[in-house]
């Protein structure tokens, strides 16, 4: 799997772009009212436009639209492979909140700031600068066009989001519009379906132990579960992808064999690193350090000692999702992974808050399904189905 932070080489000028400028804006007609955002990614050395994002987001406030513009701009920079980003916006509120100078009071703003923070941590460096509106004309124009579309006003045909061609090996921007406004309109395109399979059981499963980066094999019940998964009809499957850990690989191999498909290993689908808690029960962790456990349960930014926070898991799992959607557009992919990555994918598909991670239950060898559409909408079709397993 390619590295999304690998520099992008322009095949025309043969230059490496490691540093980009993101100009972003958003607004609404009425606050709240018909809203939209715009974002532009620029090469600071040449002024070349490397990517544009513009979207109508229904009825929202100015602040929501401005944050959505920032998120879209950072996501476009990530897709281009930039390592360092200079963000320029005419929203003093967003700039100062992202710099940590101003408090974020509203819950909706905190969630959007958290999403921007997840993207931010994927770069080596991100700076924020306030600029006057007259210096933010490109993003302002895109945002106004999006607001006009949200209000139903006729506009000049919107240009599709443009992204400069990446060099061989750089990750293509497949899912640029996954943050699209929700819609009740029936989709007309063919969905890209991810069938999310939790691996079969191991000796840790029955005892409910933290099971992160260990490489335990399936136990006897786990092998029976894998066989039941292999017999389940998944339809026309284009690919089978799996975490590199043994329990996922064994489960995926059982599924791939009758389908006649090779097994694709995706490192970003690995389970959370639970650090010093690996192999312990929740009760054992609580007895040893209740304060550390409470802090971890209270915030997705907190990691277990020596481990990985859920916000870091978000970044890599969404990166894996985007790569799979790009490589298999309009097809079905079976994704064999672990509890946390599946919960992350379901949570983001539902646009649910981080606390949803603690409110979803996934059995071993369970199946969940999410459909993704090219307009950016998605549909959760199934969660934690175990009907294929013997009773």
> What pLDDT, on the 0 to 100 scale, is given for residue 206?
83
Residues 6+ apart with CB under 8 A from 232: 367, 388
Say how far apart CA 191 and CA 204 lie, in whole Å: 36
Helix axes 310-327, 107-120, angle to 10 degrees: 70
Catalytic residue among 60, 66, 199, 308: 199
Rounded Cα gap, residues 156 and 47, in angstroms:
24
**Cα separation, 309 vs 318, whole angstroms:** 15
3-state SS track over 73-102: HHHHHHHHCCCEEEEEECCHHHHHHHCCCC
**10 Å Cβ neighbour count for 276?**
15
Which parts of the chain register pLDDT below 50? 1-15, 157-181
Give the residue ranges of DSSP H helices in the chain. 62-80, 92-98, 107-120, 137-150, 203-206, 220-231, 246-259, 282-288, 290-298, 310-327, 339-350
Q: Is the peptide bond before 87 cis (omega within 30 degrees of 0)?
A: no
Query: Residue 30: what pLDDT?
Result: 85
Active-site residue flag, 271? yes
Asked if 284 is an active-site residue, the reply is no
State CA 358 to chain mean position distance.
18
Q: Are 332 and 195 in contact (CB under 8 A)?
A: yes
User: Both tokens of residue 351?
Assistant: 């646009």
Sign of the four-CA dihedral 255, 268, 181, 301? positive
- Predicted pLDDT of residue 375: 66
Q: Does the structural domain 8-150 have CATH classification 3.30.420.10?
A: yes
Rounded to whole angstroms, the Cα distance separating 290 from 212 reads: 20
Domain 192-385 has CATH 3.40.50.1240: yes
Give me the catalytic one of 271, 308, 328, 338: 271
Q: What pLDDT shows up at residue 378?
A: 87
Domain locations in the chain? 8-150, 192-385
């Amino acid at each position: 799997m390619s590295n999304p932070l690998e520099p992008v080489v322009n095949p025309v000028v043969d230059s490496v772009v490691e540093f980009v400028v993101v100009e972003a804006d958003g607004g609404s007609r009425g606050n709240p009212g018909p809203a939209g955002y715009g974002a532009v990614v620029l090469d600071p050395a040449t002024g070349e436009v490397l990517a544009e994002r513009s979207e109508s987001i229904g009825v929202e406030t100015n602040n929501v639209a401005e944050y959505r513009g920032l998120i879209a701009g950072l996501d476009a920079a990530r897709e281009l492979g930039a390592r360092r980003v200079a963000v320029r916006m005419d929203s003093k509120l967003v700039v100062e909140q992202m710099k940590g100078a101003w408090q974020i009071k509203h819950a909706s703003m905190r969630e959007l700031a958290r999403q921007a923070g997840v993207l931010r941590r994927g770069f080596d460096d991100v700076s924020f600068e306030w600029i006057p509106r007259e210096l933010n004309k490109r993003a302002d124009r895109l945002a106004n066009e999006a607001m006009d579309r949200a209000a139903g006003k006729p506009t000049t045909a919107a240009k599709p989001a443009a992204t400069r061609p990446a060099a061989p090996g750089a990750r293509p921007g497949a899912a640029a519009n996954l943050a699209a406004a929700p819609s009740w309109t029936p989709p007309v395109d063919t969905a890209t379906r991810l069938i999310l399979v939790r691996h079969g059981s191991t000796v840790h499963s029955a005892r409910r132990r933290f099971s992160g980066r260990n490489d335990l094999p399936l136990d006897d019940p786990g092998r029976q579960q894998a066989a039941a998964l292999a017999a389940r009809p998944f339809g026309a499957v284009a690919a089978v992808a799996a975490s590199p850990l043994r329990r996922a690989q064994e489960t995926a191999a059982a599924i791939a064999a009758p389908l006649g498909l090779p097994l694709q290993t995706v490192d970003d689908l690995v389970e959370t690193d639970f650090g010093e808690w690996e192999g312990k029960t929740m009760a054992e962790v609580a007895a040893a350090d209740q304060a550390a456990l409470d802090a971890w349960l209270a915030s997705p930014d907190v990691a277990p000692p020596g481990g990985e926070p859920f916000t870091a898991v978000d970044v890599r799992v969404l990166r894996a999702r985007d790569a799979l959607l790009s490589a298999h557009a309009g097809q079905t992919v079976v994704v064999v992974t672990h509890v946390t990555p599946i919960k992350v994918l379901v949570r983001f598909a539902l646009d649910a808050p981080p606390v949803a991670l603690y409110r979803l239950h996934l059995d071993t060898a369970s199946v969940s399904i999410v459909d993704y559409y090219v307009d950016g909408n998605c549909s959760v079709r199934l969660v934690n189905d175990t009907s294929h397993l013997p009773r």
